[in-house]
Structure 1
Amino acid sequence: MTHPLDWLTTPCARIDADSAEAARAYQNTLTKPPGSLGRLEEIAVQFAGWQHCVKPELNRVAIRVFAGDHGLCKQNISAFPQQVTAQMIDNFVAGGAAINVLSRFCHADFDILNLGTVAQPALLAADKNLHLGAGTADASEQPAMTQEQLIAALNAGRDQVDALADCQLFIGGEMGIGNTSSASLIYALLADRPAAEFAGPGTGLSIAGVTHKETVLNRVQDKYQVQVRTSESPALAALQLCGGFEIAAICGAYLRCAQRGIPVLVDGFITSAAFMVAQSLQPQLRDWSLFAHCSAEPAHRNVLEQLNIQPLLDLEMRLGEGSGAALAVPLLQQALALHGQMATFTGAGVDDRL
């Protein structure tokens, strides 16, 4: 009998190693010292392998923001009320959020999907409002999601990617008051480390607020750590027990992108938690991923170091929404422009002898 999550095990698409190697060789014919463009050269090589050509381009970027509320907010772990999630969704629809500005700047295909909030957005179209629940349950009292909600959220992310006709790069953004706490718990449960190590100010908690948040997260972790540790799929268990609808949807989107051969640009602290879950299910996802920036959320730097990831930017951002990733798109485009448009030594009549 087919299980609704069987698609998670579909292999990732093949990367064209021949095109990547040809692109690397082509880099050495350009009018510059070998390696002088640093990581920009490797970015071009990666895109060559992804796009199966020597001179890749980046013109079609899709940005999808996934939203959802978190029942753990009942434990006073956020500086903002949950009504803000729905209000921000309306701001996205109206085009006034940071991610809207950045999406327009890089000519990205932008859309938003609400998985389930406490308050209802006023401007969001009905087909963009799944309403899996009025946010997740309070994870300090019961699992954040039912099995059915987890499946629906993962599949919603998959479906957003399946609806993309022609995409060269995918960015997943998130909106959900309280979701730094959910992300912190996912990190802690999968690393089997104290949740306090991953707790930070989020949207702006005071020192006292962070201390309280650490206490709450440690208590929740104690409730579920053994269950996660002994689970057949620790990543899915952590996601269901303590995650968010939007985090699950991003996880599903990342996996589907890699299966369809679409590279993903991971944003910040929350989306990195979604990536960690997804990579636990499909280790090859790493080969289809770039990381945009290091968040100012304190634990993000440690998480990236543990994953042996060097992000593209480090600008002390902590907004979320996919904003750090959108900001990095022009950098990627310029890397490919340099690779594809610079003259070769032969073409320019420049002596390439060392």
Structure 2
Amino acid sequence: MSERSLDLDDFSDLIERPHGTLRRQAEERRALTGLPPRALGRLDDLGEWLGAAQSRVPVQPVTTPRLVVFAGDHGIARQGVSTREAGTASALVRETLDGLSPAAVLARRFDVPVRVIDMSLDCDPGELPAEISRHRVRRSGGRLDTEDTLTLAEAEQAFRAGMAVADEEADAGTDLVVLGDLSVGGTTAAATLIAALCGTDASVVTGRGGGGIDDRTWMRKCAAIRDGLRRARPVLGDQLQLLATVGGADLTAMTGFLLQCAVRHTPVILDGVVSAACALVGQRVAFRAPDWWLAGHAGAEPAQAKALDRLAADPLLEQEVAVGGGTGALLALPLVRAAAALAAELPVGQPTAETAASHETAASHEVLDAT
């Protein structure tokens, strides 16, 4: 592909921050409840963030969330970097579809529909429902330590697929996305991206993965990330090429999904290290985009901690959840729903003259901004 039709620089112009004026109005409305400041802790911040994201004060309850899970196999898994055998991510997908995975159990309990997108599973696409595999880019990915995980054309295809899924969710009325991933080898790709973008060594970001790898496997994983870093550093200035080099189809699609969610004003709860890595790439593309994303939880992966620190994202929970699929992010969903309910339903008293004047000033600023 000699010329690229996808220009990631466009996202900087397309993505706006959540409405700051409305956030101030949400703060003022909260002050009228009579509760002491910070009495609700971070729930106040969440409610104000949601109001700004929805462009509504008071905020609307979260009624139509969806768990969106991107799935894929990574060629680096053939190097023994995981407790799972290479090419077996499809088993994780089937477990989720059958309602047997931790994420599926929580999604059922919280009444959250689940959508799985196969980007590069190492199985016959006919083994899965056509709706799941219709965005597939390829079967598995290249070994990030010795070869590109995708061609540039495949990376663009995967990125656009993620954007298309974000548009489909926004058009369907999804008011909050819980983002997850299912892969074998995905944490190795994520750690490589995070190390490259944060300028750290492989040993600093190499974790034990969802399966709790032993020391020998950890050393193989660390070596793979080290070799992947050597290949990633020369292309740090080109985010799509970086994803093609070491990211794989699922991480590339998740990055496109996150950025397009920000364009469409759809808030997202991030899950573990994989979604954190994609968010970090997204931040490089458009610095305002992370304002639309929440860190659901802090896991045990050191790379996730590095990414969240760079994103200035404070996780809502710290349960050390290691399984993927959106499990940790789903655990944070009741907090977000509670914040929305409190912000919407707590009774408020009459505004003071000072507060009313502040609202009039804010309204006049909105008119000026619109013109």
| TM-score (structure 2 length as normaliser) | 0.87
Match of 2:142 among 133, 137, 143: 137
Letter in 2 for 1:20: R
1:196 aligns with one of 203, 214, 222: 203
**Equivalent residues of 2:162, 2:256 under 8 A apart:** yes
Partner of 2:365: none
Q: 2:231·2:245 contact (CA, 8 Å) conserved in 1?
A: no
Contact 1:118 1:134 in 2 (8 A): yes
Residues of 2 paired with 1:71 and 1:185: CA distance? Answer: 14
Deviations 1:218-247 (A, max 9, x none): 12222442x224x4x2x3332111112111
Would you say 1:210 and 2:210 are equivalent positions? no
Structure-2 separation of matches of 1:161 and 1:273: 18
Matches within 5 A, 1:296-335: 296-335=300-339
SS in 2 for 1:265: strand
Q: Please give the per-residue CA displacement for 1:203-229, whole angstroms capped at 9, x wherever unaligned.
A: 22101211222122212222442x224
In structure 2, how many angstroms separate the alpha carbons of the residues matched to 1:333 and 1:160? Answer: 23
Matched, 1:9 2:10: yes
| Local SS of the residue matching 2:281 | helix
Quick one: distance in 2 between partners of 1:68 and 1:291? Answer: 22
By how many angstroms is 1:120 displaced? 3.2
Q: Is the 8 A contact 1:89 1:124 kept in 2?
A: no
Query: Equivalents in 1 of 2:52, 2:98: separation in Å?
Result: 37
Decide whether the 8 Å contact of 2:65 with 2:175 is kept in 1: yes
The Cα RMSD (Å) is 2.1
AA partner of residue 24 (structure 2): E
Q: Does 1:151 align with 2:156?
A: yes
AA aligned to 1:236 is L
Counterpart AA for 1:22: Q
1:1-40 matches, within 5 Å, as 3-6=4-7, 9-10=10-11, 11-13=14-16, 15-40=18-43
CA distance in structure 2 between the aligned counterparts of 1:327 and 1:255, rounded to whole angstroms: 23
1:159-174 mapped onto 2 (5 Å cutoff): 159-164=164-169, 165-174=172-181
> 1:93 is aligned with what amino acid?
L
> Secondary structure of the equivalent of 1:181?
helix
**1:176 counterpart residue number:** 183
- In the alignment, is the contact (CA less than 8 A) between 1:28 and 1:34 conserved in 2? yes
Partner of 2:355: none
For residues 269 and 247 of structure 1, the distance between their equivalents in structure 2, rounded to whole angstroms, comes to 11
Please, which moves more after superposition, 92-101 or 138-147?
A: 92-101
SS in structure 2 opposite 1:271?
Answer: helix
Tell me if structure 2 keeps the 8 A contact 1:267–1:322. Answer: yes
What's the CA shift for 1:82? 2.5
Q: Letter of the aligned partner of 1:212 in structure 2?
A: R
The secondary structure found in structure 1 opposite 2:269 is strand
Q: Contact 1:29–1:344 at 8 Å: present in 2 too?
A: yes
Q: Name the CA shift for 1:121/1:132 in 2 (closer, same or farther; >3 Å).
A: closer
Helix, strand or coil: the match of 1:321?
Answer: coil
Deviation at 1:252, TM superposition (A): 0.8
**Equivalence map 1:248-267=2 (5 Å):** 248-267=252-271
Secondary structure of the structure 1 residue equivalent to 2:88: helix
The structural deviation recorded for 1:302 is: 3.3
CA distance in 2, matches of 1:188, 1:304: 13
Alignment of 1:40-59 (within 5 A): 40-56=43-59, 57-59=61-63
Return 251-260 or 186-195, whichever deviates more.
186-195
Separation (CA, whole Å) in 1 of partners of 2:317 and 2:136: 34
Secondary structure, aligned partner of 1:6: coil
- The amino acid across from 2:214 in the alignment is S
CA distance in 2, matches of 1:7, 1:281: 6
Structure 1 letter corresponding to 2:194: Y
Q: Which amino acid aligns with 1:149?
A: E
Separation in structure 2 between the aligned mates of residue 305 and residue 191 of structure 1, nearest angstrom: 10
Separation (CA, whole Å) in 2 of partners of 1:279 and 1:14: 13
Correspondence 1:118-137 to 2 at 5 A = 118-120=122-124, 124-129=128-133, 130-137=135-142
User: Is the alpha carbon distance of 1:15 and 1:224 closer, same or farther for their aligned partners in structure 2, counting shifts above 3 Å?
Assistant: closer
Secondary structure of the residue aligned to 1:115 is: strand
Alignment of 1:99 with 2:103, yes or no, is yes
Question: By how many angstroms is 1:14 displaced?
Answer: 5.3
Deviates more, 1:90-99 or 1:139-148: 90-99
Q: Does 1:219 align with 2:223?
A: no
8 A Cα contact 2:198 2:306, kept in partner: no
TM-score normalized with structure 1 length: 0.91
Deviation at 1:13, TM superposition (A): 4.1
Q: What letter is aligned with 2:10?
A: T
8 Å CA contact 1:155, 1:252 repeated in 2: yes
1:312 positional shift: 0.2
TM-aligned CA deviation for residue 345 of structure 1: 4.9
Q: Percent identity?
A: 26
